[in-house]
Copies of this chain bind each other. A is one copy, B any other.
Amino acid sequence: MSTRATSIWGWGYADKFPEAEARRALGEQVSALLGGPPLEPREPAALDALRLPRPRVAPPEALAALCSVEDTDRAAHTYGKGYGDLVRGFHGDFSSAPDFVARPRTEEDVRAVMDWCGNHRVALIPFGGGTSVVRGVEAAIGDGFRGAVSLDMRGMDRVVEVDPVSRAARIQAGATGPVLEAQLASHGFTLRHFPQSFEFSTLGGWIATRAGGHFATLYTHIDDLVQSTRMLTPRGLYETRRLPASGAGPAPDRLVLGSEGTLGVITEAWVRVQARPRFRANASVHFPDFTSGARAVRELSQSGLHPSNCRLLDAQESFLNGVTGDGSCVLVLAFESADHPQQAKMERALAITASHGGECREGARYRSEEMGSQARAGGAADSWRSAFIEAPYLQNVMVSLGVIADTFETACTWDRFDELHGSILESMRGALERICGGGSVSCRFTHVYPDGPAPYYTFIGPAKPGGELAQWMALKQAASDAVMAHGGTITHHHAVGRLHRPWYDRERPEPFALALKAVKGALDPQGILNPGVLVGP
Protein backbone atom coordinates (compact mmCIF):
# COMPACT_ATOMS: atom_id res chain seq x y z
CA MET A 1 0.00 0.00 0.00
CA SER A 2 1.04 3.56 -0.70
CA THR A 3 2.38 5.54 2.26
CA ARG A 4 1.28 8.83 0.70
CA ALA A 5 -1.34 10.27 3.03
CA THR A 6 -4.93 10.45 1.83
CA SER A 7 -7.41 13.08 2.92
CA ILE A 8 -9.61 12.21 5.88
CA TRP A 9 -12.52 14.29 4.62
CA GLY A 10 -11.94 14.82 0.90
CA TRP A 11 -11.05 13.02 -2.27
CA GLY A 12 -7.66 11.46 -2.79
CA TYR A 13 -4.19 12.40 -1.66
CA ALA A 14 -4.04 15.04 1.04
CA ASP A 15 -1.16 16.86 -0.65
CA LYS A 16 -3.33 17.55 -3.69
CA PHE A 17 -5.62 19.92 -1.77
CA PRO A 18 -4.46 23.33 -3.08
CA GLU A 19 -3.20 26.15 -0.87
CA ALA A 20 -5.70 28.87 -0.04
CA GLU A 21 -4.27 31.23 -2.65
CA ALA A 22 -4.76 28.73 -5.47
CA ARG A 23 -8.27 27.98 -4.25
CA ARG A 24 -9.05 31.71 -4.16
CA ALA A 25 -8.01 31.95 -7.81
CA LEU A 26 -10.26 29.01 -8.69
CA GLY A 27 -13.01 30.69 -6.71
CA GLU A 28 -12.76 33.72 -8.96
CA GLN A 29 -13.27 31.54 -12.03
CA VAL A 30 -16.23 29.80 -10.44
CA SER A 31 -17.90 33.00 -9.34
CA ALA A 32 -17.43 34.39 -12.84
CA LEU A 33 -19.17 31.30 -14.15
CA LEU A 34 -21.98 31.45 -11.57
CA GLY A 35 -22.27 35.22 -11.79
CA GLY A 36 -22.27 35.63 -8.02
CA PRO A 37 -20.14 37.40 -5.42
CA PRO A 38 -16.47 36.42 -4.90
CA LEU A 39 -16.00 33.06 -3.19
CA GLU A 40 -13.72 32.95 -0.18
CA PRO A 41 -11.95 29.64 0.50
CA ARG A 42 -12.52 28.10 3.92
CA GLU A 43 -10.28 25.64 5.77
CA PRO A 44 -11.33 22.12 6.79
CA ALA A 45 -11.71 21.28 10.47
CA ALA A 46 -8.38 20.68 12.16
CA LEU A 47 -7.46 17.08 12.95
CA ASP A 48 -7.80 17.69 16.69
CA ALA A 49 -11.27 19.20 16.23
CA LEU A 50 -12.98 16.22 14.59
CA ARG A 51 -16.21 15.26 16.37
CA LEU A 52 -16.63 11.49 16.78
CA PRO A 53 -18.97 9.61 19.10
CA ARG A 54 -17.39 7.47 21.80
CA PRO A 55 -17.01 3.86 20.72
CA ARG A 56 -19.87 1.62 21.85
CA VAL A 57 -17.94 -1.62 21.43
CA ALA A 58 -14.25 -2.52 21.42
CA PRO A 59 -12.47 -5.19 19.40
CA PRO A 60 -12.04 -8.46 21.28
CA GLU A 61 -8.60 -9.64 22.28
CA ALA A 62 -8.48 -12.24 19.47
CA LEU A 63 -9.02 -9.60 16.80
CA ALA A 64 -7.03 -6.78 18.39
CA ALA A 65 -4.08 -7.16 16.03
CA LEU A 66 -6.34 -6.56 13.01
CA CYS A 67 -8.24 -3.66 14.46
CA SER A 68 -7.74 0.04 14.97
CA VAL A 69 -9.63 2.17 17.47
CA GLU A 70 -7.76 5.36 16.54
CA ASP A 71 -10.00 8.34 15.90
CA THR A 72 -8.20 9.23 12.67
CA ASP A 73 -8.83 5.72 11.37
CA ARG A 74 -12.45 5.83 12.49
CA ALA A 75 -12.91 9.23 10.85
CA ALA A 76 -11.29 8.10 7.60
CA HIS A 77 -13.75 5.20 7.51
CA THR A 78 -16.88 7.15 8.39
CA TYR A 79 -17.97 8.26 4.95
CA GLY A 80 -17.55 7.68 1.25
CA LYS A 81 -16.70 10.53 -1.10
CA GLY A 82 -20.04 11.96 -2.14
CA TYR A 83 -20.76 15.66 -1.85
CA GLY A 84 -22.62 15.22 1.43
CA ASP A 85 -19.72 13.20 2.81
CA LEU A 86 -17.18 15.85 1.93
CA VAL A 87 -19.25 18.61 3.49
CA ARG A 88 -19.72 16.74 6.76
CA GLY A 89 -16.07 15.78 6.89
CA PHE A 90 -14.91 19.27 5.99
CA HIS A 91 -16.79 20.64 8.98
CA GLY A 92 -15.43 17.92 11.28
CA ASP A 93 -18.75 16.07 11.68
CA PHE A 94 -17.96 12.34 11.95
CA SER A 95 -21.05 11.39 13.90
CA SER A 96 -21.55 8.14 11.93
CA ALA A 97 -18.05 6.89 12.73
CA PRO A 98 -17.69 3.11 13.11
CA ASP A 99 -16.66 1.89 16.54
CA PHE A 100 -13.50 0.43 15.11
CA VAL A 101 -11.84 -0.49 11.85
CA ALA A 102 -10.84 -4.07 11.01
CA ARG A 103 -8.13 -4.80 8.45
CA PRO A 104 -8.19 -8.52 7.56
CA ARG A 105 -5.13 -10.07 5.92
CA THR A 106 -6.80 -13.38 5.08
CA GLU A 107 -10.23 -14.81 4.43
CA GLU A 108 -9.99 -16.43 7.87
CA ASP A 109 -9.65 -12.96 9.35
CA VAL A 110 -12.79 -11.87 7.51
CA ARG A 111 -14.59 -14.92 8.84
CA ALA A 112 -13.45 -14.18 12.40
CA VAL A 113 -14.64 -10.57 12.26
CA MET A 114 -17.96 -11.60 10.69
CA ASP A 115 -18.54 -14.27 13.34
CA TRP A 116 -17.76 -11.86 16.15
CA CYS A 117 -20.14 -9.26 14.71
CA GLY A 118 -22.87 -11.88 14.32
CA ASN A 119 -22.41 -13.10 17.87
CA HIS A 120 -22.45 -9.59 19.30
CA ARG A 121 -25.17 -7.90 17.23
CA VAL A 122 -22.65 -5.53 15.66
CA ALA A 123 -23.10 -4.23 12.11
CA LEU A 124 -20.35 -5.02 9.61
CA ILE A 125 -19.78 -2.49 6.80
CA PRO A 126 -17.49 -3.57 3.96
CA PHE A 127 -15.49 -0.43 3.15
CA GLY A 128 -13.85 -1.32 -0.19
CA GLY A 129 -11.78 1.71 -1.09
CA GLY A 130 -14.26 4.05 0.57
CA THR A 131 -15.10 5.87 -2.66
CA SER A 132 -18.88 5.36 -2.51
CA VAL A 133 -20.81 8.45 -3.55
CA VAL A 134 -24.16 7.04 -2.37
CA ARG A 135 -23.57 6.64 1.37
CA GLY A 136 -22.86 2.96 0.73
CA VAL A 137 -20.15 2.60 3.42
CA GLU A 138 -21.59 4.77 6.18
CA ALA A 139 -22.65 3.17 9.46
CA ALA A 140 -26.07 4.85 9.51
CA ILE A 141 -27.53 1.68 10.95
CA GLY A 142 -30.38 2.67 13.24
CA ASP A 143 -30.87 1.46 16.79
CA GLY A 144 -30.90 -2.29 16.26
CA PHE A 145 -27.18 -2.82 16.76
CA ARG A 146 -24.70 -2.55 19.58
CA GLY A 147 -22.14 -0.96 17.29
CA ALA A 148 -20.54 -0.99 13.85
CA VAL A 149 -17.26 -2.20 12.38
CA SER A 150 -15.79 -0.89 9.14
CA LEU A 151 -14.10 -3.68 7.22
CA ASP A 152 -11.15 -2.31 5.26
CA MET A 153 -10.18 -4.98 2.73
CA ARG A 154 -7.17 -3.22 1.24
CA GLY A 155 -4.73 -5.53 3.00
CA MET A 156 -5.94 -8.30 0.69
CA ASP A 157 -4.65 -6.92 -2.57
CA ARG A 158 -2.78 -9.69 -4.40
CA VAL A 159 -3.14 -11.09 -7.87
CA VAL A 160 -3.08 -14.68 -6.67
CA GLU A 161 -3.07 -16.55 -9.95
CA VAL A 162 -2.96 -15.79 -13.66
CA ASP A 163 -4.30 -18.13 -16.35
CA PRO A 164 -2.71 -16.87 -19.57
CA VAL A 165 -4.50 -19.46 -21.71
CA SER A 166 -8.02 -18.40 -20.74
CA ARG A 167 -6.85 -14.83 -20.10
CA ALA A 168 -8.13 -14.66 -16.58
CA ALA A 169 -6.75 -13.74 -13.19
CA ARG A 170 -7.71 -14.54 -9.62
CA ILE A 171 -7.45 -11.34 -7.63
CA GLN A 172 -8.12 -10.53 -3.98
CA ALA A 173 -11.01 -8.15 -3.48
CA GLY A 174 -9.04 -5.43 -1.70
CA ALA A 175 -6.74 -4.64 -4.63
CA THR A 176 -7.15 -1.08 -5.91
CA GLY A 177 -6.93 -0.27 -9.61
CA PRO A 178 -3.23 0.67 -9.72
CA VAL A 179 -2.24 -2.20 -7.41
CA LEU A 180 -3.92 -4.87 -9.53
CA GLU A 181 -2.87 -3.34 -12.85
CA ALA A 182 0.79 -3.26 -11.76
CA GLN A 183 0.67 -6.96 -10.88
CA LEU A 184 -1.17 -7.87 -14.10
CA ALA A 185 1.33 -5.87 -16.15
CA SER A 186 4.14 -8.15 -14.99
CA HIS A 187 2.22 -10.96 -16.72
CA GLY A 188 1.61 -8.88 -19.86
CA PHE A 189 -2.10 -8.37 -19.13
CA THR A 190 -4.49 -5.63 -18.16
CA LEU A 191 -8.05 -5.59 -16.79
CA ARG A 192 -8.82 -2.25 -18.48
CA HIS A 193 -11.45 -1.31 -15.92
CA PHE A 194 -10.93 2.38 -15.31
CA PRO A 195 -13.72 4.01 -13.33
CA GLN A 196 -13.12 7.62 -12.30
CA SER A 197 -12.32 6.29 -8.81
CA PHE A 198 -9.66 3.94 -10.29
CA GLU A 199 -6.79 5.13 -8.06
CA PHE A 200 -8.57 4.32 -4.81
CA SER A 201 -11.48 1.94 -5.40
CA THR A 202 -11.13 -1.84 -5.12
CA LEU A 203 -12.09 -4.87 -7.17
CA GLY A 204 -14.46 -6.01 -4.42
CA GLY A 205 -16.08 -2.59 -4.37
CA TRP A 206 -16.46 -2.60 -8.14
CA ILE A 207 -18.22 -5.95 -8.04
CA ALA A 208 -20.41 -5.06 -5.06
CA THR A 209 -21.56 -1.85 -6.78
CA ARG A 210 -21.54 -2.93 -10.45
CA ALA A 211 -19.03 -0.22 -11.28
CA GLY A 212 -18.85 1.29 -14.74
CA GLY A 213 -15.48 1.44 -16.41
CA HIS A 214 -13.37 2.36 -19.36
CA PHE A 215 -15.32 0.95 -22.26
CA ALA A 216 -18.16 3.11 -23.53
CA THR A 217 -19.75 0.16 -25.31
CA LEU A 218 -19.93 -3.62 -24.97
CA TYR A 219 -17.95 -4.19 -21.72
CA THR A 220 -19.34 -1.22 -19.84
CA HIS A 221 -19.64 -2.63 -16.32
CA ILE A 222 -17.38 -4.80 -14.19
CA ASP A 223 -20.21 -7.37 -14.54
CA ASP A 224 -18.95 -8.11 -18.05
CA LEU A 225 -15.40 -8.80 -16.84
CA VAL A 226 -16.25 -11.14 -13.95
CA GLN A 227 -15.71 -14.85 -14.53
CA SER A 228 -16.44 -16.06 -11.00
CA THR A 229 -16.80 -14.66 -7.52
CA ARG A 230 -15.93 -15.74 -4.01
CA MET A 231 -18.01 -14.20 -1.23
CA LEU A 232 -18.00 -15.05 2.44
CA THR A 233 -21.52 -15.05 3.88
CA PRO A 234 -22.69 -15.71 7.43
CA ARG A 235 -24.11 -18.99 6.02
CA GLY A 236 -20.88 -20.14 4.39
CA LEU A 237 -18.70 -19.62 1.37
CA TYR A 238 -20.45 -18.54 -1.82
CA GLU A 239 -18.00 -19.49 -4.55
CA THR A 240 -19.06 -19.81 -8.15
CA ARG A 241 -17.47 -22.10 -10.70
CA ARG A 242 -15.01 -20.55 -13.15
CA LEU A 243 -16.95 -20.59 -16.41
CA PRO A 244 -16.95 -18.52 -19.60
CA ALA A 245 -20.75 -18.86 -19.65
CA SER A 246 -23.52 -21.10 -18.37
CA GLY A 247 -27.24 -21.64 -18.71
CA ALA A 248 -27.73 -23.48 -15.44
CA GLY A 249 -30.49 -21.60 -13.64
CA PRO A 250 -30.38 -17.94 -12.67
CA ALA A 251 -26.73 -16.82 -12.75
CA PRO A 252 -25.22 -17.00 -9.23
CA ASP A 253 -22.64 -14.27 -9.97
CA ARG A 254 -25.46 -11.87 -10.83
CA LEU A 255 -26.66 -11.96 -7.25
CA VAL A 256 -23.20 -11.02 -5.98
CA LEU A 257 -22.88 -8.22 -8.54
CA GLY A 258 -24.72 -5.27 -7.05
CA SER A 259 -25.15 -6.83 -3.61
CA GLU A 260 -23.46 -3.79 -2.05
CA GLY A 261 -22.12 -5.61 0.97
CA THR A 262 -25.53 -6.76 2.13
CA LEU A 263 -25.20 -10.50 1.44
CA GLY A 264 -21.56 -11.20 2.19
CA VAL A 265 -18.02 -9.94 1.89
CA ILE A 266 -16.44 -10.49 -1.51
CA THR A 267 -12.95 -11.82 -0.90
CA GLU A 268 -11.76 -12.77 -4.39
CA ALA A 269 -12.81 -12.93 -8.01
CA TRP A 270 -11.61 -14.42 -11.26
CA VAL A 271 -11.73 -11.65 -13.84
CA ARG A 272 -11.23 -11.61 -17.60
CA VAL A 273 -8.02 -9.87 -18.54
CA GLN A 274 -6.60 -8.99 -21.92
CA ALA A 275 -3.48 -8.04 -23.78
CA ARG A 276 -2.58 -4.38 -23.86
CA PRO A 277 -4.03 -2.61 -26.92
CA ARG A 278 -1.49 -2.12 -29.69
CA PHE A 279 -3.69 -0.36 -32.20
CA ARG A 280 -5.59 2.81 -31.46
CA ALA A 281 -7.68 5.32 -33.34
CA ASN A 282 -8.79 8.60 -31.78
CA ALA A 283 -10.88 11.48 -32.99
CA SER A 284 -12.95 14.32 -31.65
CA VAL A 285 -16.03 15.33 -33.54
CA HIS A 286 -17.75 18.70 -33.08
CA PHE A 287 -21.51 19.09 -33.34
CA PRO A 288 -23.47 22.33 -33.44
CA ASP A 289 -25.86 21.06 -30.76
CA PHE A 290 -26.37 18.17 -28.35
CA THR A 291 -29.39 16.80 -30.19
CA SER A 292 -27.52 16.15 -33.43
CA GLY A 293 -24.60 14.71 -31.44
CA ALA A 294 -26.97 12.36 -29.64
CA ARG A 295 -28.47 11.21 -32.96
CA ALA A 296 -25.00 10.43 -34.28
CA VAL A 297 -24.17 8.50 -31.11
CA ARG A 298 -27.39 6.56 -31.44
CA GLU A 299 -26.49 5.47 -34.95
CA LEU A 300 -22.96 4.59 -33.79
CA SER A 301 -24.36 2.54 -30.91
CA GLN A 302 -26.50 0.56 -33.35
CA SER A 303 -23.76 0.10 -35.97
CA GLY A 304 -21.90 -2.80 -34.35
CA LEU A 305 -18.64 -0.82 -34.51
CA HIS A 306 -18.18 -0.97 -30.71
CA PRO A 307 -15.96 2.06 -30.05
CA SER A 308 -13.99 1.83 -26.80
CA ASN A 309 -14.70 5.48 -26.09
CA CYS A 310 -17.83 7.29 -27.25
CA ARG A 311 -18.31 10.17 -24.85
CA LEU A 312 -20.49 13.02 -26.02
CA LEU A 313 -19.93 16.24 -24.05
CA ASP A 314 -22.45 19.06 -24.20
CA ALA A 315 -21.21 22.62 -24.79
CA GLN A 316 -20.84 23.33 -21.07
CA GLU A 317 -18.92 20.09 -20.38
CA SER A 318 -16.71 20.74 -23.40
CA PHE A 319 -15.92 24.15 -21.97
CA LEU A 320 -15.45 23.02 -18.35
CA ASN A 321 -13.19 20.16 -19.42
CA GLY A 322 -11.06 22.43 -21.57
CA VAL A 323 -11.94 20.55 -24.76
CA THR A 324 -13.39 23.52 -26.62
CA GLY A 325 -14.94 26.84 -25.73
CA ASP A 326 -16.76 27.72 -28.92
CA GLY A 327 -20.16 26.47 -27.87
CA SER A 328 -20.01 23.23 -29.83
CA CYS A 329 -20.61 19.78 -28.38
CA VAL A 330 -17.73 17.35 -28.70
CA LEU A 331 -17.79 13.60 -29.19
CA VAL A 332 -14.62 11.96 -27.89
CA LEU A 333 -14.33 8.83 -29.99
CA ALA A 334 -11.78 6.02 -29.79
CA PHE A 335 -11.21 2.48 -30.97
CA GLU A 336 -8.60 0.13 -29.59
CA SER A 337 -7.44 -3.42 -30.22
CA ALA A 338 -4.59 -5.71 -29.31
CA ASP A 339 -5.10 -7.60 -32.55
CA HIS A 340 -5.80 -5.49 -35.62
CA PRO A 341 -5.73 -1.93 -36.97
CA GLN A 342 -8.73 0.29 -36.27
CA GLN A 343 -8.61 2.66 -39.24
CA ALA A 344 -11.53 1.11 -41.12
CA LYS A 345 -13.77 1.27 -38.08
CA MET A 346 -12.89 4.89 -37.41
CA GLU A 347 -13.50 5.83 -41.02
CA ARG A 348 -16.95 4.25 -40.95
CA ALA A 349 -17.68 5.95 -37.60
CA LEU A 350 -16.67 9.35 -38.97
CA ALA A 351 -18.90 8.81 -42.01
CA ILE A 352 -21.78 8.23 -39.60
CA THR A 353 -21.00 11.29 -37.48
CA ALA A 354 -20.56 13.45 -40.62
CA SER A 355 -24.03 12.40 -41.79
CA HIS A 356 -25.38 14.01 -38.60
CA GLY A 357 -23.44 17.26 -39.06
CA GLY A 358 -20.37 16.24 -37.04
CA GLU A 359 -17.08 17.86 -37.97
CA CYS A 360 -13.76 16.20 -37.25
CA ARG A 361 -11.62 19.33 -37.22
CA GLU A 362 -8.18 17.87 -36.62
CA GLY A 363 -8.59 14.59 -38.50
CA ALA A 364 -8.50 11.23 -36.80
CA ARG A 365 -5.23 10.14 -35.25
CA TYR A 366 -4.00 6.59 -35.39
CA ARG A 367 -1.37 5.02 -33.23
CA SER A 368 0.01 1.55 -33.78
CA GLU A 369 2.66 0.34 -31.38
CA GLU A 370 3.54 -2.22 -33.97
CA MET A 371 4.34 0.46 -36.49
CA GLY A 372 6.63 2.16 -33.98
CA SER A 373 4.70 5.41 -34.00
CA GLN A 374 4.51 7.09 -30.64
CA ALA A 375 2.18 9.88 -31.70
CA ARG A 376 -0.10 10.78 -28.79
CA ALA A 377 -3.85 10.73 -29.17
CA GLY A 378 -3.79 14.43 -28.37
CA GLY A 379 -6.51 17.02 -28.83
CA ALA A 380 -9.84 16.69 -27.14
CA ALA A 381 -9.20 13.11 -26.00
CA ASP A 382 -6.22 14.09 -23.88
CA SER A 383 -7.85 17.19 -22.44
CA TRP A 384 -10.89 15.18 -21.57
CA ARG A 385 -8.92 12.34 -19.95
CA SER A 386 -6.88 14.53 -17.62
CA ALA A 387 -9.97 16.49 -16.62
CA PHE A 388 -11.72 13.17 -15.93
CA ILE A 389 -9.09 11.99 -13.46
CA GLU A 390 -8.75 15.36 -11.73
CA ALA A 391 -12.48 16.10 -11.45
CA PRO A 392 -12.97 14.56 -8.00
CA TYR A 393 -10.13 16.73 -6.62
CA LEU A 394 -11.97 19.77 -7.86
CA GLN A 395 -14.93 18.82 -5.70
CA ASN A 396 -12.71 19.24 -2.59
CA VAL A 397 -12.06 22.81 -3.67
CA MET A 398 -15.73 23.47 -4.36
CA VAL A 399 -16.62 22.36 -0.84
CA SER A 400 -14.01 24.71 0.60
CA LEU A 401 -15.45 27.54 -1.51
CA GLY A 402 -18.99 26.88 -0.32
CA VAL A 403 -20.19 25.75 -3.72
CA ILE A 404 -22.48 22.78 -4.17
CA ALA A 405 -20.97 20.60 -6.89
CA ASP A 406 -22.19 17.11 -7.63
CA THR A 407 -22.98 14.64 -10.37
CA PHE A 408 -25.70 12.10 -11.03
CA GLU A 409 -26.20 9.61 -13.79
CA THR A 410 -28.82 7.37 -15.32
CA ALA A 411 -29.64 5.34 -18.42
CA CYS A 412 -32.81 5.21 -20.50
CA THR A 413 -33.99 3.91 -23.83
CA TRP A 414 -33.36 6.17 -26.84
CA ASP A 415 -37.07 6.83 -27.36
CA ARG A 416 -37.27 8.42 -23.90
CA PHE A 417 -34.01 10.33 -23.99
CA ASP A 418 -35.07 13.69 -25.45
CA GLU A 419 -37.92 13.97 -22.99
CA LEU A 420 -35.86 12.79 -20.01
CA HIS A 421 -32.98 15.10 -20.86
CA GLY A 422 -35.23 18.12 -21.37
CA SER A 423 -37.06 17.44 -18.16
CA ILE A 424 -33.84 17.00 -16.15
CA LEU A 425 -32.38 20.26 -17.47
CA GLU A 426 -35.58 22.15 -16.78
CA SER A 427 -36.04 20.64 -13.37
CA MET A 428 -32.42 21.20 -12.30
CA ARG A 429 -32.25 24.76 -13.62
CA GLY A 430 -35.44 25.59 -11.78
CA ALA A 431 -34.22 23.93 -8.61
CA LEU A 432 -30.83 25.65 -8.75
CA GLU A 433 -32.52 29.01 -9.23
CA ARG A 434 -34.96 28.37 -6.40
CA ILE A 435 -32.54 26.79 -3.97
CA CYS A 436 -29.19 28.43 -4.76
CA GLY A 437 -30.25 31.57 -6.60
CA GLY A 438 -28.54 30.27 -9.74
CA GLY A 439 -26.13 27.66 -10.98
CA SER A 440 -25.25 25.46 -13.87
CA VAL A 441 -26.04 21.96 -15.09
CA SER A 442 -24.26 20.08 -17.86
CA CYS A 443 -24.39 16.63 -19.45
CA ARG A 444 -22.23 14.03 -21.11
CA PHE A 445 -22.73 10.43 -22.21
CA THR A 446 -20.40 8.06 -20.37
CA HIS A 447 -21.63 4.80 -21.91
CA VAL A 448 -23.95 4.00 -24.80
CA TYR A 449 -25.94 0.95 -25.80
CA PRO A 450 -27.84 0.01 -28.95
CA ASP A 451 -31.06 0.69 -27.06
CA GLY A 452 -30.11 3.79 -25.11
CA PRO A 453 -27.50 6.13 -23.64
CA ALA A 454 -26.19 6.60 -20.12
CA PRO A 455 -26.22 10.37 -19.60
CA TYR A 456 -24.18 11.82 -16.74
CA TYR A 457 -25.02 15.21 -15.28
CA THR A 458 -22.88 17.69 -13.35
CA PHE A 459 -24.42 20.56 -11.43
CA ILE A 460 -22.97 23.41 -9.42
CA GLY A 461 -24.56 26.22 -7.49
CA PRO A 462 -23.59 28.57 -4.66
CA ALA A 463 -24.52 27.24 -1.21
CA LYS A 464 -26.08 29.29 1.53
CA PRO A 465 -23.69 29.14 4.50
CA GLY A 466 -24.69 26.39 6.91
CA GLY A 467 -27.46 25.14 4.65
CA GLU A 468 -25.35 23.15 2.22
CA LEU A 469 -26.64 19.69 3.11
CA ALA A 470 -30.31 20.61 3.00
CA GLN A 471 -29.87 22.50 -0.27
CA TRP A 472 -27.95 19.64 -1.81
CA MET A 473 -30.57 17.10 -0.76
CA ALA A 474 -33.30 19.25 -2.31
CA LEU A 475 -31.35 19.36 -5.57
CA LYS A 476 -30.74 15.61 -5.40
CA GLN A 477 -34.47 15.10 -4.89
CA ALA A 478 -35.31 17.20 -7.95
CA ALA A 479 -32.79 15.30 -10.06
CA SER A 480 -33.89 11.86 -8.91
CA ASP A 481 -37.60 12.60 -9.27
CA ALA A 482 -37.03 13.76 -12.86
CA VAL A 483 -34.99 10.66 -13.66
CA MET A 484 -37.65 8.34 -12.28
CA ALA A 485 -40.57 10.16 -13.87
CA HIS A 486 -39.14 9.83 -17.38
CA GLY A 487 -38.04 6.23 -17.60
CA GLY A 488 -34.48 6.38 -16.28
CA THR A 489 -32.77 4.20 -13.72
CA ILE A 490 -31.79 5.75 -10.41
CA THR A 491 -28.22 4.70 -11.15
CA HIS A 492 -26.30 3.40 -14.13
CA HIS A 493 -23.05 2.83 -12.22
CA HIS A 494 -22.97 4.77 -8.94
CA ALA A 495 -24.93 2.10 -7.01
CA VAL A 496 -27.85 2.52 -4.61
CA GLY A 497 -26.36 2.82 -1.12
CA ARG A 498 -28.39 4.80 1.38
CA LEU A 499 -28.70 7.87 -0.82
CA HIS A 500 -30.68 6.35 -3.71
CA ARG A 501 -32.77 3.95 -1.66
CA PRO A 502 -36.13 5.81 -1.88
CA TRP A 503 -36.02 5.87 -5.68
CA TYR A 504 -34.58 2.38 -5.94
CA ASP A 505 -37.58 1.11 -3.99
CA ARG A 506 -39.81 2.60 -6.68
CA GLU A 507 -37.71 1.35 -9.57
CA ARG A 508 -37.53 -2.34 -8.75
CA PRO A 509 -40.53 -4.64 -9.14
CA GLU A 510 -42.23 -5.30 -5.81
CA PRO A 511 -41.85 -9.11 -6.09
CA PHE A 512 -38.12 -8.58 -6.63
CA ALA A 513 -37.98 -6.62 -3.37
CA LEU A 514 -39.66 -9.62 -1.69
CA ALA A 515 -37.12 -11.93 -3.33
CA LEU A 516 -34.14 -9.88 -2.22
CA LYS A 517 -35.48 -9.63 1.30
CA ALA A 518 -35.82 -13.41 1.36
CA VAL A 519 -32.26 -13.85 0.11
CA LYS A 520 -31.00 -11.46 2.77
CA GLY A 521 -32.82 -13.45 5.43
CA ALA A 522 -31.35 -16.70 4.13
CA LEU A 523 -27.71 -15.58 3.85
CA ASP A 524 -27.47 -12.98 6.63
CA PRO A 525 -30.10 -14.10 9.13
CA GLN A 526 -28.88 -11.68 11.80
CA GLY A 527 -28.96 -8.80 9.34
CA ILE A 528 -25.50 -7.52 10.31
CA LEU A 529 -24.19 -6.83 6.80
CA ASN A 530 -24.44 -3.18 5.71
CA PRO A 531 -27.88 -2.66 7.29
CA GLY A 532 -30.31 -0.39 5.49
CA VAL A 533 -28.77 -0.87 2.06
CA LEU A 534 -31.04 -2.46 -0.63
CA VAL A 535 -33.36 -4.18 1.89
CA GLY A 536 -34.73 -3.70 5.37
CA PRO A 537 -35.72 -0.51 7.12
Q: Measured between alpha carbons, how far is A333 from B256 in the docked complex, in Å?
A: 35
Q: A475-502: which have CB < 8 Å to B?
A: 487-496, 500
Q: Does A534 contact B (CB under 8 A)?
A: yes
Known: A249-B496, A250-B259. A523 touches B516 (CB 8 A): no
A-B contact pairs, 7 of them (CB 8 A): A166-B413, A166-B451, A227-B413, A236-B510, A243-B411, A245-B492, A248-B507
**Most chain B CB within a 10 A radius of its CB, from A298, A510, A515, A518:** A515
Q: Measured between alpha carbons, how far is A285 from B227 in the docked complex, in Å?
A: 30
Q: Does A454 contact B (CB under 8 A)?
A: yes
A414 to B489, Cβ gap below 8 A? no
As for how many copies of this chain the complex holds, the number is 2
Instruction: Please name the residue on chain B nearest to A511 by beta carbon.
Output: B238
Q: A517-537: which have CB < 8 Å to B?
A: 517-519, 521-523, 534
Instruction: Please name the residue on chain B nearest to A409 by beta carbon.
Output: B247
Chain B residue contacts of A490, Cβ below 8 A = 248
Known: A167-B302, A452-B166, A523-B511. A249 touches B258 (CB 8 A): yes
A451 to B250, Cβ gap below 8 A? no
Instruction: Please name the residue on chain B nearest to A229 by beta carbon.
Output: B509
Taking a contact as CB atoms closer than 8 A, the residue among B248, B344, B413 that contacts A344 in the complex is B344
Taking a contact as CB atoms closer than 8 A, the residue among B274, B305, B453, B495 that contacts A340 in the complex is B305
Known: A209-B247, A257-B251. A272 touches B451 (CB 8 A): yes
Q: Does A399 contact B (CB under 8 A)?
A: no
Q: Does A284 contact B (CB under 8 A)?
A: no
Instruction: Please name the residue on chain B nearest to A489 by beta carbon.
Output: B246
Q: Does A260 contact B (CB under 8 A)?
A: yes
Q: Does A235 contact B (CB under 8 A)?
A: yes
A221 to B248, Cβ gap below 8 A? no
A244 to B452, Cβ gap below 8 A? yes
| Cβ contacts A292-314/B at 8 Å (1 or 0 each) | 00000010001111100000000
Binding site for B on A (CB under 8 A): 163, 165-168, 209-212, 218, 220-221, 227, 233, 235-252, 254-260, 263-264, 272, 274-275, 298, 302-306, 337-340, 344, 348, 411-415, 447, 449-454, 487-496, 500, 504, 507-512, 514-519, 521-523, 534
Known: A239-B509, A251-B254, A496-B249. A449 touches B340 (CB 8 A): no
A248 to chain B, nearest CB (A): 5
Q: Measured between alpha carbons, how far is A55 from B445 in the docked complex, in Å?
A: 59
Known: A245-B221, A411-B245, A449-B245. A338 touches B304 (CB 8 A): yes
Q: Measured between alpha carbons, how far is A399 from B490 in the docked complex, in Å?
A: 54
A503 to chain B, nearest CB (A): 9
A236 to B511, Cβ gap below 8 A? yes
Chain B residue contacts of A413, Cβ below 8 A = 163, 165-166, 168, 227, 242-244
Chain B residue contacts of A167, Cβ below 8 A = 302, 414, 450-451
Known: A238-B509, A247-B209. A415 touches B163 (CB 8 A): yes
Chain B residue contacts of A252, Cβ below 8 A = 508-509, 512
Instruction: Please name the residue on chain B nearest to A508 by beta carbon.
Output: B252
Instruction: Please name the residue on chain B nearest to A223 by beta carbon.
Output: B251
A281 to chain B, nearest CB (A): 13
**Most chain B CB within a 10 A radius of its CB, from A246, A247, A252, A255:** A247
A454 to B304, Cβ gap below 8 A? no
A338 to chain B, nearest CB (A): 7
Instruction: Please name the residue on chain B nearest to A414 by beta carbon.
Output: B166
B244 to A453, Cβ gap below 8 A? yes
Taking a contact as CB atoms closer than 8 A, the residue among B212, B242, B255, B303 that contacts A487 in the complex is B242
A496 to B244, Cβ gap below 8 A? no
Taking a contact as CB atoms closer than 8 A, the residue among B251, B454, B534 that contacts A258 in the complex is B251
Chain B residue contacts of A521, Cβ below 8 A = 518
A303 to B255, Cβ gap below 8 A? no
Taking a contact as CB atoms closer than 8 A, the residue among B235, B243, B254, B340 that contacts A303 in the complex is B340
Q: Measured between alpha carbons, how far is A450 from B516 in the docked complex, in Å?
A: 32
**Most chain B CB within a 10 A radius of its CB, from A209, A340, A494:** A340
Other 17 A-B pairs with CB < 8 A, given A163-B413, A254-B254: A165-B298, A166-B413, A166-B414, A167-B414, A212-B247, A227-B451, A238-B510, A240-B512, A242-B413, A242-B487, A245-B411, A245-B489, A247-B489, A248-B489, A340-B344, A344-B344, A515-B519
B493 to A247, Cβ gap below 8 A? yes
Q: Measured between alpha carbons, how far is A446 from B165 in the docked complex, in Å?
A: 20
Instruction: Please name the residue on chain B nearest to A252 by beta carbon.
Output: B512
Chain B residue contacts of A244, Cβ below 8 A = 411-413, 449-454
